[in-house]
Amino acid sequence: MDNNMLLPKKLIQKCPVCGKEYQHNKIKILETQDLYILSYLKCSNCHSGLALKILMLPHGMVGQAVVTELDGEELKNFKKVSKAIASEDVLFVYDFFKKKKSLVEGLKSVSHKL
């Protein structure tokens, strides 16, 4: 079956930036799994990108969309190399900003250590 047939067209009718209707034949399917479909659209008018993840849940489908400047290939590459943010990463950032009075001061101190 064509993966484009699985995407609910009502979730992705118009560009959220300029309001122009999407051309559904331009949808790129980036990844499919049992529980979700990751796809990408680019507006033909304003060229804004839209990453769309459709989750297949027992009670129906849920769509999550993000406007992005990345293209479809960049999204696939980003997904490969990105890792989840760990709790120690969050605590490090919290401690960093708690100790520093300003962002500029904090960034200067970090750049001197590199």
| 3-state SS assignment for residue 28 | strand
pLDDT in tens, 8-54: 556 678 888 998 988 878 888 888 888 888 889 899 899 899 998 88
Cβ atoms within 10 Å of 114's Cβ, excluding its own? 4
Task: Tell whether the model's pLDDT for residue 80 goes beyond 60.
Answer: yes
Q: Are residues 8 and 19 in the same domain?
A: yes
Q: Are residues 48 and 37 in the same domain?
A: yes
Q: Are residues 88 and 41 in the same domain?
A: no
Q: Are residues 48 and 93 in the same domain?
A: no
What is the number of structural domains in the chain? 2
Structural domain containing residue 35: 3-82
State how far the Cα of 9 lies from the Cα of 16, in Å rounded to an integer.
14
Q: Are residues 37 and 77 in the same domain?
A: yes
Q: Are residues 10 and 53 in the same domain?
A: yes
